[in-house]
Structure 1
Amino acid sequence: MISIFKTNIQSENELQKIATYLDARISEVIWNIDLLDTDRILRIDSATNKNEEIISIFNEVGYVCTNLETFYVEPF
């Protein structure tokens, strides 16, 4: 499952801050944030839907995270 989010992460320092929370609380996902994209896109690759957890973590830490799209991708 691939989920795409718009975030308001602006810097490498903010990215490291949210990374600490994501890595500690969300397991078995691959994620990245594109700081060069104007929407600061967060991409989550996971076996199950983690959207509510992701949004909750961002909100708890004081950032905005809005789901743009979620779709299922067959494993290779």
Structure 2
Amino acid sequence: MVEVFKTNVSTVRQVERMIKILQLYFSDCHINFDLEDCDRILRMEGNRENFDLTSNVLLQEGYLCEKL
């Protein structure tokens, strides 16, 4: 399953940090950000039916995250 989120993560350094944090919760998933997209897209792909924790993790780190 693939989930897509709109975020306000805006730098490569922030992306690297957030990927490390997200991998603690979703170690079995492929995680990437598209900083060139105006919505700073976060894509998560894996054998899961639920990525609901994603928004909470980003919010706890001070970022906006909206499931698309």
Structure 1 runs (4+) deviating above 3 angstroms are none
Instruction: String of CA shifts for 1:22-44, please: whole Å, max 9, x gaps.
Output: 12222210111001111011111
- Greater Cα offset, 54-63 or 43-52: 43-52
The runs of 5 or more residues in structure 1 that have no matched partner are 69-76
Residue 17 of structure 1 corresponds to which residue in structure 2? 17
The runs of 5 or more residues in structure 2 that have no matched partner are none
Who wins on radius of gyration, i.e. which is larger?
1
How many pairs are equivalent? 68
Whether contact under 8 Å (1:32, 1:42) holds in the other structure is yes
Residue 49 of structure 1 corresponds to which residue in structure 2? 49
Q: What letter matches 2:66 in structure 1?
A: T
Residue 32 of structure 1 corresponds to which residue in structure 2? 32
TM superposition shift of 1:51: 2.2
In the superposition, the TM-score normalised over structure 2's length comes to 0.89
Q: What letter matches 2:6 in structure 1?
A: K
Q: What letter matches 2:30 in structure 1?
A: I
The CA RMSD measured in Å over matched residues stands at 1.1
Identity of aligned residues (%): 29
